[in-house]
Structure 1
């Protein structure tokens, strides 16, 4: 009798251990399946030629910006009779691909300041129009890094892509409106490049 009892006890104990291991493994696998894969590095496969970064450069940082663009109704310096909305200052917060806020964007001049103290100033060298008059064009800027050491210290180019908004000019801008101001929300991806 004792031998049968011990056999049943050993069998029950073994079954309980097996069940615990199977359940534990299932829980671990479920947890692992909810982990997002790391984001893919940006490529220029679908970028317009005029805003493509030259060969010999690699991505230093990928970000997404959410911010505001401040415009003023002004006469053109070259043609005073021509009046239009002129960008006077941008302001945006940029997050990296993990969602962490890492860069502040302001201007003029267009300046990106990283939370690590490094910075870069951009000078527009090319644009590529977007479909839809209310979206900012895509843009390529030449970068001049600041003195701070960090992620942006060696940035040579900045691309502005995937723009949304920023050009919904809902107010008139005529000779009678000179000096009027308008603030518009926008979103964009900023890709920072450095020499390989």
Structure 2
């Protein structure tokens, strides 16, 4: 049964990668670039870590109605390199999986490490819980979600168990310990 679920999630994410699920085009790297000087202090990666990858995401934040309010269910996004080539998928966990080398990182938000962005999901700092593989995500210690656009849950009430997906874009950075 787990395999069937993985196939459904993979198919949904592939739809995002190919322009489905509300996606209209590949992320635009130039428009989403953020310099270190513009990163809010709350979401900065601690010293002793170095940037190992930076990808631009486009996808959806899916919400489910629980007790009359929208609650985040899962993200589904495709990450692209600076040339716009799809290189990774982002899904519930949260987890990021490279479509190039199969490496993956799962992370959890760092308490209090968020920067509110009007009209967009917040910028976040996440700490790695686990990694696998020998590729781009091997040894990642921190993930940042920056330069967010959209993805905010709808305003107002909802009917129990309803789901909705809201388009979003973000810049994800991946850092690893300096060795």
Shared fold by TM > 0.5?
yes
Name the CA distance, whole Å, in 1 between partners of 2:153 and 2:114: 18
Q: Of Structure 1 and Structure 2, which has the larger fraction of its residues in strand?
A: 2
Unpaired runs of at least 5, structure 2: 1-32
Q: Of Structure 1 and Structure 2, which has the larger fraction of its residues in helix?
A: 1
Is the 8 Å Cα contact of residues 162 and 189 (structure 1) preserved in structure 2? yes
Unpaired runs of at least 5, structure 1: 1-40, 76-82
Name the CA distance, whole Å, in 2 between partners of 1:89 and 1:42: 25
TM-score (norm 1): 0.68
Highest RCO, 1 vs 2 (Cα 8 Å, sep ≥ 6): 2
Name the CA distance, whole Å, in 2 between partners of 1:127 and 1:179: 28
Name the CA distance, whole Å, in 1 between partners of 2:131 and 2:175: 15
Which protein is bigger by CA-based radius of gyration? 1
How far is the alpha carbon of 1:120 from its aligned partner? 0.1
How far is the alpha carbon of 1:71 from its aligned partner? 0.3
Aligned length: 143
Name the CA distance, whole Å, in 2 between partners of 1:74 and 1:44: 38
Structure 1 segments (4+ residues) deviating >4 Å: none
Residue in 1 aligned with 2:45? Answer: 53
Structure 1 residue aligned with 2:80, among 95, 101, 104? 95
Over 3 Å counting, the alpha-carbon distance change for 1:69 and 1:42 in structure 2 is closer
Is the 8 Å Cα contact of residues 44 and 125 (structure 2) preserved in structure 1? yes
